[in-house]
Chain A
Amino acid sequence: MSKYKTKIGLEMHCEISETKTKVFSSAANSYSSIPNSNIRPVDMAFPGILPVVNKEAVRMALMTSMVLNCSQPEYMYFERKNYYYPDLPKGFQLTQETKPIPVGIYGKVVFECNGEEKTVRVNNLHLEEDAASSDHLYDITTIDYNRAGVPLLELVTEPDLHSADEAVAFLEHMRSVYQYLNISEADSKKGQIRCDVNVSIMDSDLDEEDPNNWGTKIEIKNVNSFGGVRDAINYEIKRQTKLKENGTYDDMEQQTRRWDEESGTTIAMRSKVDAVDYKYFVEPNIPKFKISKEWLNEIRKNIPELAYDRKKKYMNEYGLSEYDSNILVKEKDISDYFEKSISIGTDVKQAANWVNGMILSYLNYNEISIKDFFMTPEMLKELIDLIESKTISSKQGKDVFYKCLEDKKDPKQVVKDEGMMQITDENQIMDIVKEVINENLEQARTFDPQNPKALDYFIGQVMKKTRGKANPSIASKLMRAELEKIVSE
């Protein structure tokens, strides 16, 4: 066992991407590559603008608060966090501090890490606005205000995590929650998830419950990928351990550091004495508004099924394995595709096999999302039905799958166009069987029913004549009967 225990707390920012408009402005909340195209006067703080709260964003925030088992406030307030920066047009950010109560406080989240159940306490969840984004070029900085005012949820945990693995597993769990709640794509590649990470270490023989035994809190700002979180934590553990070993740990001040992705190190930004005083106060332009019990009940009633619920359903009701269920629920869009397939009557096991097998490997190989996948759940059902009805063989099924995607056609069309329809009509097959026997009369008369290879030869001839379309089992049944008739004559 290690000499030191690590304590990690996270501040996870997730942009709400699924509202129509920004959190305090009527500008569209959608990503645009054209800078400064999704903006209204509010987003650039022209004199005289006022914030107007987006109720939908509040609803989503309250729903998240419920899922995190937080308590919700009776009244909704927003506060100003005052500081000067070019990406902050008003000179303050509208956010929520802990007094008055933000959208959620004191919750807890249970998640899975390497097959083990873990619990992390949530200190608070608050709704705020994002800042503009700046690009630092060689000699100038450009500012794009498209992001200014995008709704942002900040989740602050207690320092209950103990390793980089746990931290990343928690973040992955939360990403899934945001996706399943239809709140955010939660895509860190789009900058929708950003984290600040608090790391401290303590002697492992001391009692963790007593905060006096905790180490000095180091905050690492702006870690923007899960990989970055893992690397930053591991780096920081190593760095702090080294300080312990050489006896300088106790000289270390509480401080804020920055994660530098290129060098893979954390760099000191400021110590606690230089901490900014944000001069918080309640935003006077937003009247406090009461959150009614009725509204809360309605929100609670409409919480969508989360990954965990779906997994349980797949295992208990559908009889799928835990392994398959885990794969199906990992990405909400995949799970939605599967759910849709089931809802239109596709065989559960077949649907699971296709989604987890052919479809996922196709998506991964071609690096596309299931939202851009040509084959709809309806088409998948068609394909599975074609196989089930023995219209095509399962081997042919795979060819049809690729052909569908290649030619952008539905499975029935492919089967028709490619002439892949199996011959299942017994009379038609019987004609061919007779034809083959007539052409091979000598062999037919010496047919040995005990020798399987003898039958194979005749079937092969049937297949040759039908170019493989004769249903093999019907052909085999008829041929055997016919040959046995000849031999016994």
Chain B
Amino acid sequence: MRYMNKSIEELHELLVKGEVTSKELIDESLKLSHKLQDECNAFVTILDEAKETKVTDNLLSGIPFGCKDNYSTKGILSTGSSNTLKDYVPFFDATAYEKLKNAGAVMVNKTVMDEFGMGGTGTTGHTGTVKNPWDKTRMCAGSSSGSACAVAAGVYPYATGSDTGDSIRKPAAYCGIVGYKPTYGLISRYGLFPFASSLDHLGVLTRNVKDAAIVVDNMKGIDKNDMTSWDSSNIHLKDSLTGDVKGKKLCYIKEICDINNYKNPSNELKEHLENFMNTIQKAKELGIEVVEESVDQTLLNASPAVYVVISCAEATSNMSNLTGIIFGPRGEGDNYIDMMKDHRTKGFSPLIKRRFVIGSYVLQSQNQERYFRNAQRVRRLLVDKWKELFKKYDAVILPVGSGPAKKLDGSKDILTKETQVLEEHLQIGNYGGFPSITIPNGFIDNLPVGVNITGNCYDDENILNIAYALESTMPYKNQIAGIVGGEMDE
């Protein structure tokens, strides 16, 4: 009998009935963790000492989960997948993790990510590349790579993630699972290693929408340690999943979804967009009105640059605390400047250093107006445009990426300017702090692809309910990549 492929509610029922114990679940999850580690390298730490918890009314009690390694976990190694923190053991918990712990959830591993969340490939962590459980020659995307990999492989029903540009929602698509990033401030950021504070969100990766709702119900809440968090005591995500979506209105954006907008499209792209239109058809069958909208191509094209400028600027400042003086390996040198330089030179990967240079450059007083402030203005324009759409529609629905997971050796995925907006439009959800969820919507070449639904701030219940209804029309709910499958009790 396998348990870790089940949903949270199923597991809870089994636990309550006494058909399985928390310890048995943990043992199975740990065993799968080690197996998956050998295959895909998804974990920084596997917590073999994880202890069972008492089963209570809380749906999460007694059930294992994984935690992205940029969550501060008291007494447990938390590296952010960076050499600068390779031995860092925090003495305080991230609020969101503490809440899960208080719910009785059992953390069994810390998952690999792109270093400090910067990167979308799962190849920049200090413990090496994370492989896609559907096809090990492919990437999981990132930065919540290990979390997506492990949930897709059925190590546990959920893992936490963080999302600054698409770091939950794209790996979810590449791994055929659900990735949900709620409204900015619904979940406290206290204890999350920051990448770009104005864009950073916490969230979760699961195999169905209801599980995502259950987990975030337990992670959310106003926090005295995070001024951007807000009181959401009147929001009940799980309870809002009625499946009744008749009369809801969605829109998709012509400039992103119309195949005629791309010169010489690949077959993969054609299939992906066709598949997307099939999903639209299913939404209509549910009684949802779906309309094609048009957005200024120039504005859309500016989005990726806006992301680079703002995220790099905030990142370079946020990571200035990584000097090796107070924590992290102390650098060598005769004075503090040399010591800091040594620590940072040895600690960061080249990709991050490149981003720090960009961040520094755009913040310099002679460049700030041209780059940083202009990026902020365009960010505002994009957010205003989306808010305008939300006046007419419950949400914007769009395909995730230009197709399925890309090859790790890079042979197939030359990023073209043409598909850049398609690849990166999820950033707009971060610009506005919008609730945004990706669900699986099909396969291309036996590889999963996803669709994203993004709505207005504070409208999480509505967005999740639409995703929940749409999920029910497709056969991809609870799917598992077979890599570490097979009978566990053999």
Interface residues of chain A, those whose CB is within 8 Å of chain B, are 41, 44-53, 80, 82, 84-86, 89-92, 141, 277, 279-281, 284-287
A396 to chain B, nearest CB (A): 60
- Rounded to whole angstroms, the CA-CA distance of A281 and B92 in the bound complex is 28
Q: Which of B259-317 contact A (CB under 8 A)?
A: 313-314, 316-317
B314 to chain A, nearest CB (A): 6
- Rounded to whole angstroms, the CA-CA distance of A123 and B343 in the bound complex is 40
Which 3 A-B pairs give the minimum distances between C-beta atoms?
Answer: A91-B320, A284-B198, A279-B363
Q: Which residue of A lies closest to B191 (CB)?
A: A48
Give every chain B residue within 8 A of A89 (Cβ-Cβ): 321, 325-326
Q: Which residue of B lies closest to A44 (CB)?
A: B326
B130 to chain A, nearest CB (A): 21
Q: Main SS of chain B's interface residues?
A: loop
Say yes or no: A82 contacts B317, CB within 8 Å: yes
Q: Assess whether B197 is interfacial by the CB under 8 Å rule.
A: yes
Interface size class of B (residues with CB under 8 A): 35 or more
Say yes or no: B225 contacts A52, CB within 8 Å: yes
Say yes or no: B360 contacts A279, CB within 8 Å: yes
A53 to chain B, nearest CB (A): 7
Q: Assess whether B85 is interfacial by the CB under 8 Å rule.
A: yes
* Residue among A45, A47, A82, A285 making CB contact with B85, cutoff 8 Å: A47
Say yes or no: B90 contacts A281, CB within 8 Å: no
Say yes or no: A41 contacts B321, CB within 8 Å: no
Give every chain A residue within 8 A of B85 (Cβ-Cβ): 47
- Rounded to whole angstroms, the CA-CA distance of A47 and B191 in the bound complex is 7
A48-B94, A277-B365 known; A284 and B197 CB under 8 Å? yes
Give every chain A residue within 8 A of B327 (Cβ-Cβ): 46-47
Q: Which residue of A lies closest to B314 (CB)?
A: A284
A260 to chain B, nearest CB (A): 21
Say yes or no: A281 contacts B363, CB within 8 Å: yes
Give every chain A residue within 8 A of B340 (Cβ-Cβ): 84
- Rounded to whole angstroms, the CA-CA distance of A108 and B194 in the bound complex is 41
A-B contact sample (14 more), CB < 8 A, given A80-B317, A86-B323: A46-B326, A48-B72, A48-B193, A48-B194, A50-B225, A53-B227, A82-B320, A89-B325, A141-B336, A279-B317, A279-B365, A281-B368, A284-B197, A285-B197
22 A/B residue pairs, CB under 8 Å, sorted by A: A45-B326, A46-B326, A47-B90, A47-B193, A47-B322, A48-B71, A48-B92, A48-B190, A48-B194, A49-B190, A51-B227, A82-B316, A82-B317, A82-B320, A84-B323, A89-B321, A91-B320, A279-B317, A279-B363, A279-B368, A281-B368, A285-B197
- Rounded to whole angstroms, the CA-CA distance of A52 and B95 in the bound complex is 15
Q: Assess whether B88 is interfacial by the CB under 8 Å rule.
A: yes
Give every chain A residue within 8 A of B336 (Cβ-Cβ): 85-86, 141
- Rounded to whole angstroms, the CA-CA distance of A41 and B80 in the bound complex is 18
Say yes or no: A47 contacts B320, CB within 8 Å: no
- Rounded to whole angstroms, the CA-CA distance of A246 and B21 in the bound complex is 91
Q: Which residue of B lies closest to A47 (CB)?
A: B193
Q: Assess whether B228 is interfacial by the CB under 8 Å rule.
A: yes
A47-B88, A48-B191 known; A281 and B317 CB under 8 Å? yes
* Residue among B90, B225, B226, B364 making CB contact with A279, cutoff 8 Å: B364
Say yes or no: B321 contacts A47, CB within 8 Å: yes
Q: Assess whether B224 is interfacial by the CB under 8 Å rule.
A: yes
- Rounded to whole angstroms, the CA-CA distance of A45 and B193 in the bound complex is 11
Give every chain B residue within 8 A of A84 (Cβ-Cβ): 320, 323, 337, 340
- Rounded to whole angstroms, the CA-CA distance of A277 and B367 in the bound complex is 11
Say yes or no: B227 contacts A286, CB within 8 Å: yes
Q: Which residue of B lies closest to A52 (CB)?
A: B227
- Rounded to whole angstroms, the CA-CA distance of A27 and B327 in the bound complex is 20
Q: Assess whether B192 is interfacial by the CB under 8 Å rule.
A: yes
Chain B 62-106 near chain A by CB (<8 Å), digits 1 or 0 = 000000000110000010100001001011101000000000000
Max chain A CB contacts within 10 Å: which of B85, B196, B314? B314
Q: Which residue of A lies closest to B320 (CB)?
A: A91
Say yes or no: B337 contacts A46, CB within 8 Å: no
- Rounded to whole angstroms, the CA-CA distance of A90 and B197 in the bound complex is 14
- Rounded to whole angstroms, the CA-CA distance of A286 and B185 in the bound complex is 12
Say yes or no: A90 contacts B321, CB within 8 Å: yes
Q: Which residue of B lies closest to A25 (CB)?
A: B225
Give every chain B residue within 8 A of A281 (Cβ-Cβ): 313, 317, 363, 368, 372
- Rounded to whole angstroms, the CA-CA distance of A85 and B320 in the bound complex is 10
- Rounded to whole angstroms, the CA-CA distance of A51 and B326 in the bound complex is 18
Q: Assess whether B12 is interfacial by the CB under 8 Å rule.
A: no
- Rounded to whole angstroms, the CA-CA distance of A86 and B314 in the bound complex is 20
- Rounded to whole angstroms, the CA-CA distance of A221 and B248 in the bound complex is 64
Give every chain A residue within 8 A of B320 (Cβ-Cβ): 82, 84, 90-92
A183 to chain B, nearest CB (A): 23
- Rounded to whole angstroms, the CA-CA distance of A149 and B310 in the bound complex is 26
- Rounded to whole angstroms, the CA-CA distance of A49 and B91 in the bound complex is 12
Give every chain B residue within 8 A of A49 (Cβ-Cβ): 190-191
Q: Assess whether B131 is interfacial by the CB under 8 Å rule.
A: no
- Rounded to whole angstroms, the CA-CA distance of A13 and B10 in the bound complex is 61
Say yes or no: B92 contacts A41, CB within 8 Å: yes
Give every chain A residue within 8 A of B88 (Cβ-Cβ): 47
Say yes or no: A91 contacts B323, CB within 8 Å: yes
Say yes or no: B190 contacts A50, CB within 8 Å: yes
Q: Assess whether B189 is interfacial by the CB under 8 Å rule.
A: yes
- Rounded to whole angstroms, the CA-CA distance of A51 and B318 in the bound complex is 12
B318 to chain A, nearest CB (A): 9
- Rounded to whole angstroms, the CA-CA distance of A369 and B464 in the bound complex is 65
* Residue among A51, A277, A287 making CB contact with B364, cutoff 8 Å: A277
A417 to chain B, nearest CB (A): 56
- Rounded to whole angstroms, the CA-CA distance of A124 and B368 in the bound complex is 23
Give every chain A residue within 8 A of B226 (Cβ-Cβ): 50, 52, 285
Give every chain B residue within 8 A of A279 (Cβ-Cβ): 317, 360, 363-365, 368
A80-B317, A91-B321 known; A47 and B326 CB under 8 Å? no
